[in-house]
Amino acid sequence: MEDQSPDDLEKYGAVSGMEGMSILQVFDSIVWSLPVDAPVRGELLALREGIADQEQMVIEARQMIEKLEEVIKKVTSPANRIGTFLDSPVRDTAHIVVGGADYYCNVDPRIKIRDLKKGTRVLVNEAYVIVGDLGFETGGPVTQITEVLGKDRLRVGGEHGMQSTILQRSAELAKTVLKTGDEVRVDPGYRIALEALARPESREHFLDHVPELPWEKVGGQDHALQAIKDAIELPLIHTELFEKFQHATPKGFLLYGPPGCGKTLIGKATAFNLTKQLREKTGEEMREYFMHIKGPEILNMWVGESERMVREIFATAREKRREGYLPFLFIDEAESILGTRRSSRYSNILSTLVPMFCSEMDGIDSLGDVVIILASNRADLIDPAILRPGRIDRKIKVNRPDSEGARVIYRIYLTDDLPYEGVLAKEAAGLHSALDRMVERLVDSQFARREENKFLEVTLRSGRKETLYRSDLISGAIIASIVDRAKGTAIKRAIANRAVAANEIDGESAVGEGISETDLRLAFEAEFTENDIFPPSDITEDWLKLTDYNPENVVKIAPVRPRDDHGRATHPSAVV
């Protein structure tokens, strides 16, 4: 190399520094380094196309080999496992569960362990190292909470022979308020509660609104209201006296009597007034929680479902008490779910439902926990185990209103601020007394023992027959319906009068719009004649729900048929 010129040395250095270049690039560098007039340069340029094709073939072959190696690696490598992340006890170490087994494992440095949430799925390789975060599971079994244990644990199961299990809350449920009876979705390993599910029917579906209802708005039931005040208000308002006299506090009471006489209204009035008095006495912000339960709603054909609903109802009432509410458990048509076995076609259900209800009642200490109110038209059909002292301690009869009670009820619905027609409209200064006189005339005519007021004929087992008049079957609901009918008649008459006035006096409203005494009298006749609220047949069992007779003493009950001028009974369709 000593004989070479500087130009040759420069060319040699250029060629020797071509490491890392492709064959085609080296070939091009050598060719372009030759003199333009060199004979071999043309031959080399002719070879370039073949070298380029071979180099492209090598590149494609190498890429194919790499892909095959990658496929072989995938199909021969062991499968990754999926686990559930529970906790991170120490730095860079995770506590997971895989297939029901617990592991303490390492975490791939590319995975930030602080980003892993309790209950999320994680990808675990063959060395049990977390290599991926899969997020929360979207499926899994659903179970029901039977007990909330502290802030992090839940007890589930325990129904229909299932074993109870303790679950932990996932990160998503850490701050969620969960209650007994709520449904949660759990991970396949049954370790973590992942999601709270909305119930098909809300647990609040029994909740009923309690309006502002002072005792004065419940008319015609002075005896029943006084009995309720003695049974419920006194033990809760004067607790110290009951403790001093060591007097047992009742757990609940039964309202029984014919339908439409205000049993539900009395229950709501009890909730309103009792809560109000306790709020004034204690100074605490307390609200009523009125659970209005209709007996047939609990009956369910599936085994154990009715019992589950009873447990859930009592559990909800206890939870509301812990939250500061005063819960009222009002069960309407109680004989349908708490009846004797012989009184219902659902005897198989009642044979377990009644004991379940008894055991739940035994778990209540007093009215201070839950106020239990049963309402029934046929108290004789309720199981004696429910009505014994220590469970339902007070039985309060809700009677039909007498004439004085009917006057009070009429005046509750016929308020001074309603529009009236005729003489009432002219006596604006003394409207209150004028209304009282009108109501008195109405009640006197409705309670008169006249032929047109005869309603039912009852045949007793002794052979004696008794006649019941319309006043014997009057109720608060009937009076409310009579007033509504009269209002409807007055509204239609006002519409017709305004149409006439629009044509005659250029749109000014007609004078004298309002309810008249005639409207109320016609409404009373229509209420009993149209037979909307009374049984349409002569079936004794249906009529017994409306009367106060002992069923064992009654042979037959039949409506009194109006007679024509010849003394013959008219067609049944024309009677009550």
CATH number, domain of 102, equals 2.40.50.140
Do 66 and 90 lie in one domain? The reply is no
210 within some domain: no
Do 463 and 388 lie in one domain? The reply is no
Domain total for the chain?
5
Q: State the pLDDT at residue 572.
A: 40
Owner of token pair 């009715």: 306
Tell me how far apart the alpha carbons of residues 472 and 467 are, in angstroms, rounded to a whole number.
10
Q: State the pLDDT at residue 198.
A: 72
Strand, helix or coil for residue 393: coil
Do 322 and 442 lie in one domain? The reply is no
Do 287 and 346 lie in one domain? The reply is yes
Q: Lowest-confidence range among 30-39, 142-151, 219-228?
A: 30-39
Residue 425: pLDDT above 80? no
Q: Residues 505, 427: contact at Cβ < 8 Å?
A: no
Residue type present at position 335: E
Confidence of residue 533 (pLDDT cuts 50, 70, 90): low
1 within some domain: no
Do 298 and 418 lie in one domain? The reply is no
The CATH code of the domain that includes 301 is 3.40.50.300
Better-predicted residue by pLDDT, 302 or 499: 499
Confidence of residue 409 (pLDDT cuts 50, 70, 90): very high
Do 106 and 160 lie in one domain? The reply is no
**Domain final position from 135, 157, 177:** 135
**Domain final position from 54, 76, 98:** 76
Q: State the pLDDT at residue 567.
A: 45
Tell me the average pLDDT across 412-422: 84
317 within some domain: yes
Q: Residues 227, 263: contact at Cβ < 8 Å?
A: no
Structural domain harbouring 44: 6-76
Beta strands in 187-311, from DSSP E residues, in sequence order? 192-197, 252-256, 288-294
**Alpha-helix runs per DSSP H in 323-430:** 335-338, 347-362, 384-387, 403-413, 423-426
Do 414 and 481 lie in one domain? The reply is yes
Tell me how far apart the alpha carbons of residues 48 and 551 are, in angstroms, rounded to a whole number.
118
Do 530 and 415 lie in one domain? The reply is yes
Q: Residues 331, 293: contact at Cβ < 8 Å?
A: yes
Confidence of residue 459 (pLDDT cuts 50, 70, 90): confident
Q: State the pLDDT at residue 349.
A: 60
Q: State the pLDDT at residue 575.
A: 36
β-pair type (454-460, 554-559): antiparallel
**Domain final position from 326, 361, 394:** 394
Tell me the average pLDDT across 202-221: 77
494 exposed, middle or buried (CB, 10 Å; 0-12, 13-18, 19+)? middle
Residue type present at position 141: P
**pLDDT, tens digit, 9 for 90 and up, residues 313-370:** 888 888 888 888 888 999 998 888 888 755 555 555 667 778 888 888 887 766 667 8
Q: State the pLDDT at residue 484.
A: 93
Provide the token pair at 547: 């009367």
Q: Residues 334, 374: contact at Cβ < 8 Å?
A: yes
Do 357 and 426 lie in one domain? The reply is no
Better-predicted residue by pLDDT, 570 or 232: 232
203 within some domain: no
121 within some domain: yes
Residue 427: pLDDT above 70? no
Cα angle 546, 550, 551; round to 5: 80
Q: State the pLDDT at residue 345.
A: 52
Q: 3-state secondary structure string, 463-522?
A: CCEEEEEHHHHCCHHHHHHHHHHHHHHHHHHHHHHHHHHHHHCCCCCCCCCCECHHHHHH
Q: State the pLDDT at residue 229.
A: 85
With the CA atoms of 504, 506, 512 and 513 taken in that order, what torsion angle do they form, in degrees rounded to the nearest 10?
Answer: 110
Residue 561: pLDDT above 60? yes
β-pair type (192-197, 165-169): parallel
Q: Lowest-confidence range among 107-111, 134-138, 450-454, 563-567?
A: 563-567
**pLDDT, tens digit, 9 for 90 and up, residues 466-483:** 888 888 888 888 999 999
Residue 433: pLDDT above 90? no
Do 267 and 331 lie in one domain? The reply is yes
Tell me the average pLDDT across 272-283: 84
Do 45 and 106 lie in one domain? The reply is no
Do 383 and 242 lie in one domain? The reply is yes
205 within some domain: no
Conformational region of residue 433, where left means phi above 0, alpha means psi within -120 to 50, and beta covers everything else: alpha
